Amino acid sequence: MFVVESPIGPLGVIVEGDVVVGVRFGVARAPDASHPATEQLRAYFAGELTDFSVPVEMRGGSDFERAVWGEIAKIPYGEMVTYGAIATALGDPGAARAVGTACNHNPVPVIVPCHRVVGAGGKMVGFGGGLERKRKLLELEARVALTRAWG
């Protein structure tokens, strides 16, 4: 596991070969290592990267969870989508809570941006890394998107 220091605390990045298979919040601090995934995460937190290109393998999860993770991966940088909208996109408008559970089980948060999924009306609810981390991630993306839009 590689550890990346970030504004939301240390992130443990689990890599097999060149493929990221996990990201964990709040891991023990350790020396940073150079790997494309850690370099991309550093660039993301510096506001220099909006799209990750490191290969990711989403392991585990039910068919429904894997479908949710696929929808989450499509959410553009700096934008938010509701749990209900993802449920509707998957053909089950009543499954917003199940979408929330799937987001909580996302094995590769930040890179697969479950922090961009919010409650109805944009309400900030639920996040496996805690609401404070979710808020910081959304603020970072909003700030970078604004800076890019207005120069």
Residues with Cβ within 8 Å of 41's Cβ and at least 6 positions away in sequence, in order, are 4, 6, 11, 13, 110, 111
Residues with Cβ within 8 Å of 98's Cβ and at least 6 positions away in sequence, in order, are 64, 68, 87, 92
3-class SS of residue 51 = coil
Q: Considering only CA atoms, give the Rg of the chain.
A: 15
Active site residue 114: yes
Beta bridge partners of 3: 12
Q: Which of 80, 114, 117, 144 is catalytic?
A: 114
CA end-to-end distance (rounded Å), the chain: 37
How far apart are the C-alpha atoms of 139 and 78, rounded to whole Å? 9
Residues in the chain: 151
What positions carry a catalytic annotation? 114
